[in-house]
Amino acid sequence: MKAAQLPTRPEGAAPVATSRPARRRTPVPTRFLPVIATFVLFVAMFGVGSVRYEGFASGQVVANLFIDNAFLIVLAVGMTFVILTGGIDLSVGSVVALSTMVAAAGLQAGWSAPLTILAVLAMGSGFGLLMGLVIHYFEIQPFIVTLAGLFLARGLCYVISVESIPIKDDTFRSIATGVIELPGGTVITPSVVIALVVVAVAAYVLHLTRFGRTVYAVGGSESSARLMGLATARAKVGVYVISGFCSALAGLLFSFYMLSGYSLHAVGMELDAIAAVVIGGTLLSGGVGLVVGSLLGVLVLGTIQTFISFEGTLSSWWTKIAIGTLLLIFIVMQRLFVGRKA
């Protein structure tokens, strides 16, 4: 836990001083403030929606937020790990597409569903592992390595097939169409459960394991973490394996959602994931952030989409503008927040 409060500015920029005046005025620890801000925003947006549109404030609308964004939640969780170490993973969208392709092609070739799922998860983790090793041992910027990963995964999709491949497997279809009824009449899908389990496991790993604390420490200051004798290499490579695994899992959830594998699935989804993580209060310089924040970030993005579909007259491009604007507001807020502490 202490590690999360280590200095968060690895290079240049203003040094972080003690935050005593802020501490006295606010009863909650400052590191929860961004997440609370995101939560307040989410509730406020939902409140506005409920007032403006009939039928907005129903349990099913909330459930749909989770159903439609289950894959994005998983993706954002993986991205949170990477960003906490101060890295970035641009390849996630492409790995999602590659996972849907591998799943669809594997099932078409007659693999059993469990084998396909294992193969996809192993493929994603292996992909992440390779990128992590290159990033760590050759000291090439994560940005450029994962950019190459983006191209590589997208290219491999096309190698498998240029066309869309439908998924006809019974197991996949039953998971895709399966519903779980909650008390109160709202229904969710198995994907939602998987996504929430991922969030819970990620929170556990980040806060209650040695690996998680090392991740925060590396993000705070890699050289300090190394001098403390922490296994920085394992953390730095590990986060990319986790991100790769999460991308593959998100790809599986996406293939449940779409029931097809297609090379053009999830184009630009890495930006949504990064936006969700940033809106959730994680600093891109690393070392500060919570997985719950990323979950809330995804829900905020989902609410924007729900807004636009309820409005009816607004065109889809307003989604992009709205996400951009929110991103801006949040990074400026983060900046002012960090700036005041300094």
Partner 1 sequence: MSTATPVTFAARARQSRLTWPLLALVALLLVNVVVTPSFFSLRIQDGHLYGSLIDILKNGAPTLLIALGMTLVIATRGIDLSVGAIVAISGAVTCTYIAGAPDPTSASAAIIGLSMALGLCVLLGLWNGFLVSVLGIQPIIATLVLMTAGRGIAMLVTDGQIITVTNPAYRQIGAGFLVLPISILISLAVLAAVAVVTRRTALGMLIESVGVNPEASRLAGVQARTIIWTVYVFAALCAGVAGLMISSNVSAADANNAGLWIEMDAILAVVIGGTSLAGGRYSLTGTLVGALIIQTLTTTVYTAGIAPEITLLFKAVVVIAVCLLQSPRARAALRRGKTPPPVVPDAGTPSAAPDLGVLADVPGPVAPASTSSSHSAQKAGQR
Contacts with partner 1, residue ranges (CB under 8 A): 12-13, 88, 126, 129-130, 132-134, 137-141, 143-145, 147-152, 154-156, 158-159, 162, 223, 226-229, 231-234, 237-238, 241, 263, 271, 274-275, 278, 284-285, 315, 317-321, 323-325, 327-328, 331-332, 335, 339
Q: Which residues contact 71 (CB under 8 A, 6 or more apart)?
A: 96, 191, 195, 250, 251, 253, 254, 257
Work out how close the CB of 123 gets to partner 1 at its nearest, in angstroms, rounded to a whole number: 12
Compare residues 194 and 235 and give the one whose CB is closer to partner 1. 235
Closest CB to partner 1 among 137 and 204?
137
Q: Are 94 and 153 in contact (CB under 8 A)?
A: yes
Q: Which is nearer to partner 1, 220 or 238 (CB)?
A: 238
Q: Is the CB of 13 or the CB of 43 nearer to partner 1?
A: 13
Task: Find the shortest distance in angstroms from Cβ 173 to partner 1.
Answer: 28
- Residue 273: CB minimum distance to partner 1, A: 12
Residue number with CB closer to partner 1 (172 or 220): 220
CB of 317 to partner 1, least distance (A): 4
With the CA atoms of 271, 272, 275 and 280 taken in that order, what torsion angle do they form, in degrees rounded to the nearest 10? -150
For partner 1, the closer CB: 127 or 172: 127
Query: What is the token pair recorded at 59?
Result: 């349990």
The Cα 37–Cα 33 span in angstroms is: 6
Rounded to the nearest 5°, which phi and psi values hold at 187? -115, 145
What is the 8-class DSSP label of residue 173?
Answer: H
Map residue 140 onto helix, strand or coil. coil
Helix (H) or strand (E) holding 334: helix 317-341
Which residue number, 26 or 141, has a Cβ lying nearer to partner 1?
141
What does the alpha-carbon distance between residue 215 and residue 234 come to, in Å, rounded to a whole number?
Answer: 9
Q: How far is the CB of 233 from partner 1 (least distance, A)?
A: 5
Nearest partner of 255 among 160, 176, 171, judged by Cα = 176
Minimal distance in Å, beta carbon 175 to partner 1?
Answer: 28
Q: What are phi and psi of 312, to 5 degrees?
A: 80, -45
Specify the residue, 85 or 232, whose C-beta has the smaller distance to partner 1. 232
Q: Helix (H, G, I), strand (E, B), or coil: what is residue 187?
A: strand
